[in-house]
Amino acid sequence: MSPYVFERVRNNCLRVIGIWGLVFGLGVIGAQKLHVESDVVIWFPRGTEVRDAYEGIKAHLSGISPVNIVIEGKDGTSVSAPEVVAAIYGLGEFLSSLPDVGKVLSVADPLRDLHAGFANGDGQVLPSDHASIEQYLLLLEGTERLGDVITSDRSAGNVLLRVNDNGSRNLLEVAESAESWWRKNGVAGFSAHATGSMFEIARSEEAIALGQTQSLGLDVIVIALILLLALGGLRLAALALIPNILPIGLMFGFMGFAGISLDLGTVFVSNLAVGIAVDETIHLVTAFRRNKARGSTAEVALRSAMDTVVPALLLTTAVIAAGFLVLALSDFRFTSNLGLLTAAVMVLCVASNLTLLPALLLRFEARAGGSPPHGFGQT
């Protein structure tokens, strides 16, 4: 196979480089559509007990994911002041209007209900003076869950949300909407911040996904330095790095076009694949460099390197890709996405090492050696 591939690449260097560049450009466009989103529930297929229970709660009850918006004053200022209670009530009304919020509960709700019974139609939704609010709260002291919406020392209030969608991005957007509303409409001297188990899990998921994405840049830098040390030349290290970066860009582009989110599973694919794929590149380029050091031209050195390395490269890639493809058979989407995308990136990496890398070596190493390969100018 390698002689056939070598001949085609040798005779179409510029075309091969151009096609890979075009495909990479499409990948960049698709990557713009990529978004970070982790939703543990949708990893379970429809029809499973977990997914069906989630859909049932979402459709018929008050929402699946709890989020807390905590209202606090500076230096322990009481949140039972009338203007603060009114602002909490306004925040609850705003959050209730959001399509993603199923239920909102705050201290303003029982105060509103009590005031409706005792106020004899004074036209006020909420009590307008601090003393009345404290009297109502005193009546409520015997209720079991008052502590869920206001602390006993009145230093903090809690707005309880039930959000319909468990996705991390959705939870964070609802929380940001609540905090933003309070910054614009809340009482001066009082702050609102989101917390709660599901919110913190969502924030952690996004932080991990974004952190892994950012670490990919560090991976590339480290691998570039290793290639520089191993291959002994900046130009050769740069040429060896390109075929390993492009498949990662193509994977992100495919995910963007296919609507596959960057989550706790898919985010590891790029780091995993680039680490495995660069091993293939090092074998091929090291053999090429060794042959050139013996006095061979770039064309002869590359042909010999491919004849030596490609059979083992294809076999190891096939074995690794097949192993990951087994994971793609899983009904658990976390596992299936990880297996499918990793196998696909492995195939892309070997394709780039068999076509793009030789084209780059023939194009630039031959020029550096002063003798272009046969058919170099053909496109």
Model confidence over 144-176: pLDDT tens digits? Answer: 789 999 999 999 999 999 998 888 889 999 999
Q: What's the rounded mean pLDDT across residues 67-77?
A: 90
Q: What's the rounded mean pLDDT across residues 36-51?
A: 84
Q: State the pLDDT at residue 366.
A: 59
Q: For the segment 187-221, what is each residue's pLDDT rounded down to a tens digit? A: 999 999 999 988 998 888 888 777 777 777 787 88
**Alpha-carbon distance 291 to 304, whole Å?**
8
Amino acid at 354: L
Percent of the chain at pLDDT > 70 equals: 94
Which is it for strands 156-163 and 190-195: parallel, antiparallel or unpaired?
unpaired
Confidence of residue 122 (pLDDT cuts 50, 70, 90): low
Tell me: pLDDT of 1 over 60: no
Confidence of residue 271 (pLDDT cuts 50, 70, 90): confident
Helix ranges, 151-196 (H): 168-185
Tell me: pLDDT of 2 over 70: no
Tell me: pLDDT of 368 over 60: no
Confidence of residue 90 (pLDDT cuts 50, 70, 90): very high
Q: For the segment 237-266, what is each residue's pLDDT rounded down to a tens digit? A: 888 888 888 888 888 889 889 888 888 778
Question: Is 249 within 8 Å of 28 (Cβ atoms)?
Answer: yes
Q: State the pLDDT at residue 20.
A: 93
Two tokens at 57? 């709660």
Tell me: pLDDT of 121 over 70: no
Q: State the pLDDT at residue 183.
A: 96
Task: Specify the higher pLDDT residue, 8 or 191.
Answer: 191
Two tokens at 121? 């139609």
228 CB-side CA count, 13 A: 9
Amino acid at 219: D
Which is it for strands 65-73 and 101-105: parallel, antiparallel or unpaired?
unpaired
